Amino acid sequence: MKIKFMKTKLLYTAIIAGTLSLASCELDEYNPTGGDATIESFDAWSGLETYCYSPLSEQLYSVYDFMSVAEGGTDMWLTPGGNPDYAKQLIYYDGLTTNTNGTNKVFKQAYSCIASCNAVINNADNVKGITDYDKKILTAEAKTLRAFYNLLLVTYYGPVTLSQEDISKGETNVRPVRNTVEEFYTSIINDLTEASKDLEVQPYGGNYARVCKKTALGLLARAYAQGAGEGLSENGVSYWQRAKDVAEDIINNASAYNVYLYPDVSDLWAQANNRNNPEALFIVSGRDANDESYNYVNCNNNLFTYTICNPYKCSDIYTRADNTNYYLGRTNNNTLAPTKYTLNVFDPSWDKRYENTFLTAFGLFSMVDAGWVGPYNACRVRITKNLTEKYKIGEQYVGQYIYPYVDMATSTSAYGGNQYYPTGVWAKGDHSGDTKNLIKDVKNVYVVDYPVAEDDDRFAIVLSRDYKTPEEKAKSIYFTVNIDDLFDGDQYKTAQFDGTNSYQLYPSLIKYDWCYNGVVGNHMQRRNGDMMVMRTAEVYLIAAEACQQLGDQAGAAKYLKPLRDRAARPGKTAPELTNITEDTILDEYAREMAGEFYRWSLLKRHHKLGERLKLYNSRAARYFNESIHYNRPISADFLNQIENKDEYGDNGYGTTPGKGY
C-alpha cells in the first residue's frame, strides 16, 4: 500500500510564499494555497499530515543528495577511477561549502516538513469531524516524523534552530535563533516517547508506509545513541544506558511490537521480500507500476545507478550497453565505490553478507521468451585469441563461449510502462537455451555466490577478492580482475594499468538495484523499490554498541551474534567475538549496513571521522578539518533569506564571520 499525497487546497495563501523561512518547501505534491478549505477540515488536516511524509520518497531516499551526505566523507566510500571528482565536496570535503547541492537540499527538505508537522500537531484539537482515534494516531505520526527530521538536522548540522513555525499560520521567521544540541535531543526524545505510547502496533489504515509503534521506538533508540555521542544524559542516566534500555525492550518484546529479524540474511535482501519487508521498522514505499498508487507519488528512485559500475566499459567482452541492459539497468552514473576497508572488513569465506552487499561477477542476459535481444545463442560471446590476449584468459578457451547468466522477461504494466524482470538463472553448464531448465527459485539475481568457479562460463568479468597470479587468472574462462589492482594506495586508479578499461570497474553496492515485476520506472535508470529507513538489525547493533560503551562486552557479543550467525554460509560458523572494542562495533556496522545512509552519523557520534579517514581515505583526510567538518554546512539558500545570517553563522565554512555557535 502507498501513501497518497493529497492535493488538498487550504486557505492560508501566505505559507508557501515563505521560501524565505525555515518552512520553505520545493515539493509539489501538496499545495496549501488558495481554495476554500481550512485546516479545521479533517480532509485538509489529514492531507497535510500525509504531506509530512513527502520528502522521504520524493527526495531523501530516492536521489543521490542525501546518500552523499549520509555516506560520503567516511572510511567506506570513494569515487571510482572513471569518475574521480564527482561530488568530491561530500566524498572528500574538497570544496565543501554552503552551496554544495547535497547539504543545501537536505537542510531545506528537513525544515520544509517540520513546519507542516507543527501545523498538524498544533491544530489537532481544532479539527472538525475527527474521531479521538484519528486525532491520536495522526498526531503521533506527525510527532514521529518531526522527531525524525529534527534528528536529521541536529545530526548533520549541529545546533541549528528547533523550529516552532507552523505552516497554517503563514508566518516566517527571518531572524531565527539557534538552539543547543541538548534542547534538540530533549525535543526529539519527548516527541518519540509520546508517539510510541499513542501509536498502534499496526500502522494506520493498514498502510505499511505509515510509521507505527516500532518506528517510534526504533528511532528513539537511534536518537539516544546519537545523543550519547554528544555526551548527553537524562535525569542523571547516560544516553548510552537509555539507548541500551530501549533497544533491549524492542528485542525482548519483538513479537508484541511486530518486530522481526530474518534468520537468513539472504532472505532479507531477496527481491520477493522488498515490498513491505518484515524486518523494516520504517519504510519508504516505492512505486508499483502494476498498481494505481503508481500515480500518487512523484517518486523515481535512481540510487542504484550511482552505486553500480558499468561493465560495458569493457565492451568487447561484456557486450551489452548500459542503455539496453535490461538486467543491470542503466549503469551510467558510477559515482560511489567502496574503499579497501569496506571490502576487507568482510571475510567472505564465511560471511555471505559480502555478495549480498556487492556485485563482483558480471554476467550477460538473454530474453528467450520475450525475444527482445535475439535467440539464446545470439546472447553469447565467443572467446577469440584477441580476447584471451587482451584479458589474459587462458588460450585453452579460444573458440568457447561466455553464455548468458540470467533470462529476462518483459511486460507492459498498467501504469509504469515496460517492466523488465528475471524469469530465472541459467544453470551452470546448461547451454540449451530451453527456459524450462531455468533455475526459478533464485532469491536475488544480483547475488552471486562467492567464490565464482574457474569454469563458470556465465560471467564475463569477475572482480576477485583473493589475489590471483597471471597463471591463476588464465585458468578462468572469464576476465579476472584483482580488486587490489584497482587501487593506487587507498584510492582507485584513474587510468589504464593493464591495457583494458578495468580501472573503471569496482565492486558495486546492490542494495538498491531491484529487479522484479512492477519495480522498473519509465526508463531503465529508475528502480522504484521500497527503502528501509530503519530495520531491526540496527536495533541489535545499537544494543551491542551501547553495551560496549558501558563496558559490557558479554552483552555486546550477545547482540552481535544473531547478525553474524544469520550471515554464515551453509556449513560455516561465524567466528566468536571475544575482545569487543569500539572498532569491533564500527566494523560490524560496516558489514551489516553498508550504504544504508548511516556511516557518517555513526562516525560522528564516536568522533572517529578524522581518525578513520587517515587510515582508510587519505584523499578525504587531506581536506578534513576537525574543527569544522563534524557538522555539515548551513544551506546557502537559507542564509541568503534571513536577516541575521552573520549572527546565525554557517558552521565555520567561511561565508559568515563565524560558526554561529
Separation between Cα atoms, residue 414 and residue 391, nearest integer Å: 44
Cis status, amide bond into 451, omega within 30 of 0: yes
pLDDT in tens, 53-76: 999 999 999 999 999 999 999 999
Of the candidates 337, 326, 444, the residue with the CA atom closest to the CA atom of residue 86: 337
Separation between Cα atoms, residue 457 and residue 479, nearest integer Å: 11
The CA angle 621-625-628, to the nearest 5 degrees, is 145
- Residues in CB range of 432: below 8 A, 6 or more apart: none
Of the candidates 576, 587, 580, the residue with the CA atom closest to the CA atom of residue 549: 580
SS3 535: strand
Separation between Cα atoms, residue 479 and residue 481, nearest integer Å: 7
pLDDT at 249: 98
CATH number of 1-180+629-661: 1.25.40
For residue 246, how far is the Cα from the chain centroid?
Answer: 24
Of the candidates 530, 565, 532, 545, the residue with the CA atom closest to the CA atom of residue 221: 545
Other CB atoms within 10 A of residue 81 CB: 25
pLDDT at 23: 30
Residue in the structure block whose three cell numbers are 521480500: 273
Q: Is 88 left (phi over 0), alpha (psi -120 to 50) or beta?
A: alpha
SS3 128: strand
Which residues, listed in sequence order, are joined to residue 492 by a DSSP beta bridge?
A: 487
Alpha helices (H) in 234-319, listed in sequence order: 239-252, 265-268, 304-307
Residue in the structure block whose three cell numbers are 535481444: 373
Taking the CA atoms of 650, 654, 655 and 657 in sequence, report the sign of the dihedral they define: positive
pLDDT at 17: 26
pLDDT at 209: 95
Grid cell in block for residue 503:
580501472
Dmax (CA) for the chain in angstroms is 80
Could you tell me what percent of the chain has a pLDDT over 90?
A: 89
Identify whether the C-beta of residue 359 lies closer than 8 Å to the C-beta of residue 448. Answer: yes
pLDDT at 13: 30
- Residues in CB range of 303: below 8 A, 6 or more apart: 61, 62, 63, 64, 67, 512
Separation between Cα atoms, residue 35 and residue 12, nearest integer Å: 9
pLDDT at 37: 61
pLDDT in tens, 581-610: 999 999 999 999 999 999 999 999 999 999
* Domain parsing of the chain, residue ranges: 1-180+629-661, 307-511
Please identify every stretch of the chain with a pLDDT value under 50, giving residue numbers as ranges.
Answer: 1-36
Separation between Cα atoms, residue 182 and residue 571, nearest integer Å: 49
Separation between Cα atoms, residue 85 and residue 171, nearest integer Å: 41
